Amino acid sequence: MTASGPPSNQLLQTLDAADLALLRPHLVTIELVRETVLGEAGAALRHVHFPNAGTVSITVGLSEGQTIEVAMLGRDSIVGGCAALTDGIAMSDAIVLFPGTASALEISACRAIAATSVPFHNLMIRHEQALLAHAQQSLLCNTLHPVEARLARWLLRARDLSDSEILPLTQETLAQMMGVRRNAISLVAHALQRAGIIRYSRGQIEIIDLPALKATSCDCYAAMKAHHARLLARP
């Protein structure tokens, strides 16, 4: 984000010029390098991140080493917002999934601006409500829906944030994000490929038939988009 250019993050775009002017001097554009850890559960955060491009996976883990994704964040989101408004301690891990850029804001500056700007404070609160709704919908989806529908929903969200039909993904990454075994992802991916919906090669998935992928997904994809639009639309 330059001093004069418009923000690429869609949440920052909802702020009026006066509130955005409070943020601009404190925002620093950084590269989001794949597999970079932006936050670790139980550790203090130094920055809040407003992704401009790329995606960040929010995951929770078990003591046995298993992890599952509870949300995928991108240019329509904030990474670390809840911690910034509370004790500064991350409740989950935040890891860069697809590379891009983000506007970083120090926690202290974020708190000071939130105390000054009611619209910015409310934006942070609404985002956390949207993130909670997303996590709840993900829990419901992972509990009730088959892997095929869940994978379709996940790929649609990834496409929305990356603006690309080609997603650099391995089956191991997908299995980890979805909390299932790798062979389950392999079987479903092959079935979708035979149906002409995706094309899978080592380390890459290409969406071939978007309408068919949407038809394969469960209703959770549309429900998550609706929650996000309702809570984060410009007031």
Q: Are residues 46 and 154 in the same domain?
A: no
Q: State the DSSP H helix or E strand holding residue 220, giving kind and residue range, or none if neither.
A: helix 220-232
Q: State the DSSP H helix or E strand holding residue 119, giving kind and residue range, or none if neither.
A: helix 118-144
Q: Are residues 82 and 159 in the same domain?
A: no
Q: Are residues 69 and 31 in the same domain?
A: yes
Confidence check: pLDDT of 210 > 70: yes
Please report, for the domain that includes residue 28, its CATH number. 2.60.120.10
Q: State the DSSP H helix or E strand holding residue 61, giving kind and residue range, or none if neither.
A: strand 47-61
Q: Are residues 22 and 123 in the same domain?
A: yes
Taking only the tens place, the pLDDT of each residue in 152-195 is 999 999 999 988 899 999 888 898 888 888 899 999 999 999 99
167-222-229 Cα angle (round to 5): 95
Taking only the tens place, the pLDDT of each residue in 121-132 is 999 999 998 888
Phi, psi of 97 (to 5 degrees): -95, -50
Neighbours of 17 (CB within 10 A): 6
Answer whether residue 168 is part of any domain: yes
Confidence check: pLDDT of 4 > 70: no
pLDDT band at residue 2, thresholds of 50, 70 and 90? very low
Taking only the tens place, the pLDDT of each residue in 50-106 is 999 999 999 988 767 778 888 999 999 999 988 888 888 998 999 999 999 999 999
Domain housing 68:
12-131
Joined together, the tokens standing for residue 162 give 């990356």
User: How many domains is the chain built from?
Assistant: 2
Neighbours of 51 (CB within 10 A): 27
The DSSP output letter for 183 is H
